[in-house]
Amino acid sequence: MDFLKFGFQTGKVILPGIDLEVTLPSNRFFRNDGIVDNLREHTDKIYRDMGISLDHAHNLDSGYAASNHLLDNSGNIASVIYIQDFSKYDNLFNYGHESTHAAHILGLEKQFCGMLKHEGFSLDPFIRFKDREVIADIGGVIALYKKFGEEIFDYKLFDSKLIYLQRELFASKRRGIGYYINSVIRSLY
């Protein structure tokens, strides 16, 4: 399938929310449809426009945001994401969540973890967690963190599962710095 014809991009793309610039190989494609009125109708429209059978598409629809992963018979993989408009916080979280699904399906785990490392976190969510929704939630938390810093502790959207993830993420930061200090101290002796 010619994904470029349907407005997908390859090469350098930016995954929204987490604000991660990645370089896709020529058989990987990404499209950000942004804010849509109705997730279900938009999903149907994508499938209709592209003539895709459901066998070749995987839809992750949370009720707030969605990402579709489309595979063709030539080994091409494409990801399209879109969200519904709630608040700037929810939207940012949802973009981060869906972008992380995209990073996962497009094989960008290393780049994602590189970004976490750059932000000071020593956590590999793709190894640490089995559930891809939990992995995607880490992306949602990171999206908020990159924009608002540690103030996200005050962010009221979080349910207990997200607070747990947030704590785990921040623990990895402190651990990371601790390791660093230890290794500096050790190198002094």
Q: How far apart are CA 35 and CA 81, in angstroms?
A: 9
Q: Which of residues 2-21 bind Zn ion (CB under 5 A)?
A: none
Residue showing tokens 């109708």: 41
- Tell me the closest approach of the beta carbon of residue 14 to Zn ion, in angstroms: 20
Looking at 6-14, 26-34, 54-62, 141-149, which segment touches Zn ion (CB under 5 A)?
Answer: 54-62
Query: Computed over its alpha carbons, how large is the radius of gyration of the chain?
Result: 18
- Tell me the closest approach of the beta carbon of residue 189 to Zn ion, in angstroms: 48
User: Phi, psi (5° rounding) for residue 165?
Assistant: -65, -45
- Tell me the closest approach of the beta carbon of residue 38 to Zn ion, in angstroms: 18
The SS3 of residue 78 is: strand
- Tell me the closest approach of the beta carbon of residue 156 to Zn ion, in angstroms: 21
Looking at 19-27, 84-92, 116-124, 132-140, which segment touches Zn ion (CB under 5 A)?
Answer: 132-140
Q: Given candidates 1, 22, 78, 136, which one binds Zn ion under the rule CB under 5 A?
A: 136
Q: Which long-range contacts (CB under 8 A, 24 or more apart) does 85-91 make?
A: 85/35, 89/144, 89/155, 89/157, 90/64, 90/157, 91/35
Q: Given candidates 14, 60, 71, 134, which one binds Zn ion under the rule CB under 5 A?
A: 60
**What is the binding site for Zn ion (CB under 5 A)?**
60, 133, 136
